Each structure stands twice: as C-alpha cells, then as structure tokens.
Amino acid sequence: MAAAATTSSSGAMAPAMVVAVVLMLASIILSSGADAAGGQHLSVGFYNATCPEAEQIVRLETTRMVRSSPDLAAALLRLHYHDCFVQGCDASVLLDSTPSNTAEKDALPNGSLRGFDAVARVKSQLEQACPGVVSCADVLALMARDAVALSRGPTWPVALGRRDGLVSAAANCGELPPLHGDVNLMIAAFAAKGLSVKDLVVLSGAHTLGKAHCNAFADRLYDSTNNNNNCSTDPKLDPRYADRLRMRCTATTSEAAAELDPGSCNRFDTSYYRHVARRRGLLRSDACLLDDRFTRAYVMQAASGRYDGHLFLDFAESMVKMASIGVLTGQQGEIRKQCNVVNSSS
C-alpha cells in the first residue's frame, strides 16, 4: 500500500492529503494522454468556463438520490466500471439496443446493471443548465466518485473532458473481467486495460458496496451437474458461510441477492477485505485474491484494520487510472443530448 501520506493514530489519512496526492497523480497520468486527433486531454476543471456549475449539479442530484436509496451508490460505481472496461470510458454502456444491434447494457454480464434512470436525471439537469456541453461519460465518472464519497469513502479530483462513444455492442463485453475467473484471468483482464495487479486488488474493494444475485455465486454452493439441490461447496469458501448463503439462495433461485460485504454493504470501508481473508468473499473473483502472493498480502494487510487511510488513497489512485481507459477527447465521438441514444437518433 502507499506509505507516504500522513495518518492519524487510527490509521486514517488526512482528507487534504488524499486530495493533494491524487490531484498530483491525475496530473501525471492524464496530461500524458493527449489524443492524436486534437492534442487535447482530460483535465480537472475542464468545464470551468463552459459549465461552471456542472460538478455541483451532479453532486447535489447524486446526493439526493443516494440519500433516498443508499444502494444506488453501488449501482453507480458498477456502471462506471462496466463502461470503462468495454471499449473505454465512453458511456457506451448507457446506449440502448436497436432493432439491428444489441447494445452492451443488454449483454449477459450487464443484465443486473442499474442506475440508468439516475444518470438520465442528472444529464437532464445539465442539459437545462448547459446544453450540449457535459458528456455522459463525464457524468458517469463524477457520479461514481460522489457515490463513493456519500458512502463514507474517499473522494478525489475527477479529470474531465471525455466525449461519448457512437457505438455499443454486446459482443464487446467479453472484455469485462470474469466473475468466475481465477486470479490469473483477472490479472490478465486488468493488464489488457493498462491496470496493475495492485489496481485489481484495490478496485475489488468496491465490493464493500452492494449485493450480488444468487446466480452469480450459486456454482460455489451447489453441484451444477444434478437437479437435486445437492450441496457441493467450493473448497475456497468457508463452509459455515456457505450454509448461511444456502438459506437465502436455493439452487434454482436467481432473483434473491446477498450482500457482498455482509453488515456493511452501504458503507465504503475495509471490512470487505476481512471477509475475503476469512474465506467469505462472495464471488469467485473475490476468493481468488488469496491465490496470488501480492493480492493475498494486500488483502491481509487491509484486513488488519490498521491501514484504512492508505486503502482509501490507493482506491482513489486506481479510480483515476481506471477512469482514463480508452477515453475519447477533442473531436472524437460526440456530446450526447440524451445518454441512451446517439444524437442522430435523439
């Protein structure tokens, strides 16, 4: 974990230090990402001249919605993640399918995504204030940051200036890291997007928020080759925890859900790592973090509870990196008027 920032005796890092360090990181990473078409890149304060109230509009509306429905925070964070891992952070995950094309949002891995209406609500307010200025891709990045902060997690400066993609194809969703994959597959999926092993274990900490439907982990509880509900617990899953999960999820249940971080699924904290360390990570992608020497060491250190402030800083750094994947800038793409359709169709 990062070890250069000031912490209190409880391990908490000064918020000003978090912002300062991540701002420096954002400047280093994103100033080197000039686009070949126009030489432009993302920057903090991108809308200061063209829509100075943009971030405040996003923050206020996100605050209203998350306070009304705390589980929306996890949904917004997941939307941003699923967007960035498929052809970059271009809001392609928000586009609707058409008669001739199945879009990302209707692909199997995205079947449980939520938050589309929340994004549309924020975008509508931005269009009233500054028509045609703020991209849907930037809205996703801002709402994800604000959702984490509202869940008592870290905050960070979001470099802006992304433009919206023109295409969305379900076939591209194979780029998403596999929930049922082993650690080597997860590492490879992250490396393909320019993210490190550390980014993998840090961003997995987002599972401190939200729930997963039973069909996402039923294969860890039951033998899929029979029809008799026979138990076949994944040996990497604590047996007592598996018994508790079976009380909620039968072999044929799909709509029920379990908390990814039991007892703390609406608060951003490090308890997720304590569950993983005790072999109570809900998904295979959580459990596999114990199978690599680096990710296991990180999990154990985070699980100790002595480095919460450093984890917050690491998460902010990794989010800055993820939010820069494959961005469109300059004259690339467009600024959609409505996030679910390209402008020629709106």
Binding-site residues for Ca(2+), in ranges, read 83, 86, 88, 90, 92, 104, 208, 261, 269
Catalytic residue among 41, 80, 82, 310: 82
Asked whether the beta carbons of 265 and 75 are under 8 A apart, the reply is no
Does the annotation count 80 as an active-site position?
no
> In 3D, which of 251, 245, 256, 248 has the Cα closest to residue 227?
251
CA distance 137 to 156: 17
Identify the CA nearest to 11 among candidates 303, 320, 316, 278: 303
- φ, ψ of residue 257 to 5 degrees: the values are -140, 160
User: Which amino acids are annotated as binding site for heme b, given as ranges?
Assistant: 207
At 259, give phi and psi (nearest 5°): -70, 135
d(Cα 311, Cα 112) in Å, to the nearest integer? 28
The answer to whether 136 and 94 are in contact (CB under 8 A) is yes
Displacement of CA 57 from its chain's centroid (Å): 21
Binding-site positions for substrate read: 177
What are the catalytic residues?
A: 82
